[in-house]
Amino acid sequence: DADVTQTPRNRITKTGKRIMLECSQTKGHDRMYWYRQDPGLGLRLIYYSFDVKDINKGEISDGYSVSRQAQAKFSLSLESAIPNQTALYFCATSDFRQSGELFFGEGSRLTVL
């Protein structure tokens, strides 16, 4: 089983719908991240969390919200999806002792029509 699991892996939805992407990890890491990847734009940080009570905005948080339900779970929500949120979304984790190393999930491909 993967250490960082994202669900769903693929999702097609319509403009205006609410979507939740979920991430769970078995690595015991305290830090979790959500990134978005678009062709030619690399990975952009949406939100990150260093523990259950800590939530921080990244580079592109507008239109997104997150919830850290437990140390192992970090979900990303799009309250009202729009087509330009069509992208590949990655969840990642890290341990504060492992500088610079993120462990990524397999990604969730979201298409908003």
Smallest separation, CB 72 to another protein (Å): 18
User: Strands, E, within 1-113: which ranges?
Assistant: 4-7, 10-13, 19-25, 31-38, 42-51, 54-57, 65-70, 73-78, 87-94, 103-104, 108-112
| CB 93, min distance to another protein, A | 12
CB 100, min distance to another protein, A: 3
Residue with Cβ nearer another protein (81 or 102): 102
Residues in contact with another protein by the rule CB under 8 A:
31, 33, 35, 40-45, 48, 50, 56, 58-59, 90, 96, 99-107
- Compute the least distance from the CB of residue 101 to another protein, in Å: 5
User: 24-36: buried (b, 16+ CB within 10 Å) or exposed (e) per residue?
Assistant: bbeeebbbbbbbb
Longest dimension (CA), the chain: 41
Please identify, using beta-carbon distances, which residue of 40 and 62 lies nearer to another protein: 40
User: Of 7 and 15, which CB lies nearer to another protein in the complex structure?
Assistant: 7
